[in-house]
């Protein structure tokens, strides 16, 4: 799937794999979050699927994994193909801007002509071929133009869990449009308006840049982050890198790349994509993407029996017999120490319930 007209030697991928995935509790825990889980029962974890997808585009040594230090052993275990020097451990979670700055400064030292894709570890993409074609279109575009490119997904319904991107009507290049506005997760009424207008896309959080242009954007829009990394840049790719990162991170603002740069810059473009995509952020999104029975129940577990039950998400251990009766529109998740039974339309409140669990039971179940 590699593009013969483009030097793939300059192409690199950063996979962001440091999140906690709290909306997939109780399967996703702080010690073993969702990117390291096989949520949909495919035989591969979300991280492994994401790596395999990008490995069709670039070699393993051009893929970097950014994660929290406590997950280093999990990444090594799940991706033995990745050189250990390509696993970048953050000392603390500071959102996506510092994470992306880390990779960008490191890559610039390795290859000043580097082109970089940054993507979450936990997106579900069902058509790898279409996805890689879209990524190659972005790489070709940024190789010749000072542009920051994002992928937008054509919305299928007014989802309130995604950010939205509005774009120009006229193409800046075939299949590529200038971005007008970014909007964070809207309420249902606004989401319906966006869908009706026809020029809004879901923000997939997948970005492509030429590294030197991205660093200029950091210098312009997030100068405080740029400065702390720039002061330490000579330590990247040396034995001093880990100590440098320990000094840098406490000085970084906790801010997303979307809010810090993409929403402010005037050279942002979007490629509307039509491949099947989900950020797989919630149990509802898992239900939507799993095979269902005649009554629209999605079941993961070898010994589940359902009666008078419909539109329900069930995820339980294979070795446990679970019998459900009379449930409609529920999420049922069973682990060795937690049972969650929750209405599907209340799933966005799982984070709030977790705060109560912490208050009453401490960190034991988190």
So what's the pLDDT on residue 124?
A: 84
Per-residue pLDDT of 169-208, as tens digits, reads: 888 888 889 988 888 777 788 888 887 777 888 888 899 9
pTM: 0.88
So what's the pLDDT on residue 192?
A: 83
- With a cut of 70, say whether residue 7 has pLDDT above it: no
- Could you tell me the domains of the chain? 8-278 (3.90.550.10), 283-361 (no CATH)
SS3 for the chain is CCCCCCCHHHEEEEEECCCCCHHHCCCCECCECHHHCCCCCCCCCHHHHHHHHHHCCCCHHHEEEEEEHHHHHHHHHHCCCCCHHHEEEECCCCCHHHHHHHHHHHHHHHCCCCEEEEEECCCEECCHHHHHHHHHHHHHHHHHCCCEEEEEECCCCCCCCCCEEEEEEEEEECCEEEEEEEECCCCHHHHHHHHHHCCEEEEEEEEEEEHHHHHHHHHHHCHHHHHHHHHCHHHCCCCCHHHHHHHHHHHCCCCCHHHHHHCCCCCEEEEEECCCEECCCCHHHHHHHCCCCCCCCEEECCCEEEECCECCEEECCCCCCEEEECCECEEEEECCCCEEEEEHHHHHHHHHHHHHHHHHHCCCCC
Per-residue pLDDT of 212-224, as tens digits, reads: 999 999 999 999 9
């Amino acid at each position: 799937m590699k593009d013969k007209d483009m030097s793939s030697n300059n192409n690199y991928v950063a996979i962001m794999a440091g999140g906690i995935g709290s909306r997939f509790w109780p399967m996703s825990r702080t010690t073993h979050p969702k990117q390291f889980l096989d949520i949909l029962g495919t035989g591969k974890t979300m991280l492994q699927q994401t790596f395999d997808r990008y490995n069709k585009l670039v070699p393993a040594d051009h893929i970097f994994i950014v994660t929290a230090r406590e997950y280093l052993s999990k990444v090594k275990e799940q991706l033995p193909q990745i050189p250990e020097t390509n696993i970048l451990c953050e000392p603390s979670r500071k959102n996506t801007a510092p994470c992306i700055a880390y990779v960008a400064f490191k890559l610039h030292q390795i290859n000043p002509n580097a082109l970089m894709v940054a993507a979450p570890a936990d997106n579900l993409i069902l058509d790898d071929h279409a996805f890689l074609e879209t990524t190659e279109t972005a790489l070709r575009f940024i190789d010749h133009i000072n542009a920051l490119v994002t992928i937008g997904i054509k919305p299928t319904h007014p989802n309130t869990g995604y950010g939205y991107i509005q774009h120009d009507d006229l193409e800046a290049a075939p299949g590529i449009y200038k971005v007008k506005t970014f909007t964070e997760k809207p309420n249902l009424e606004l989401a319906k308006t966006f869908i009706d207008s026809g020029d809004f896309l879901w923000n997939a959080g997948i970005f492509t840049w030429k590294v030197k242009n991205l660093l200029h954007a950091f210098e312009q829009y997030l100068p405080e982050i740029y400065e702390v990394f720039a002061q330490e840049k000579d330590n990247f790719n040396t034995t001093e890198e880990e100590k440098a990162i320990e000094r840098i991170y406490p000085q970084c603002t906790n801010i997303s790349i979307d809010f810090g740069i993409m929403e402010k810059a005037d050279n942002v473009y979007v490629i509307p994509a039509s491949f099947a995509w989900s950020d797989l952020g919630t149990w509802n999104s898992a239900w939507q993407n799993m095979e269902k029975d005649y009554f629209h129940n999605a079941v993961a577990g070898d010994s589940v029996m359902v009666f008078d039950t419909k539109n329900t998400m069930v995820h339980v251990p294979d070795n446990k017999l679970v019998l459900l009766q009379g449930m409609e529109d529920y999420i049922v998740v069973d682990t060795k120490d937690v049972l969650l039974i929750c209405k599907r339309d209340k799933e966005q409140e799982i984070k709030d319930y977790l705060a109560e669990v912490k208050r009453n039971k401490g960190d034991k179940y988190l």
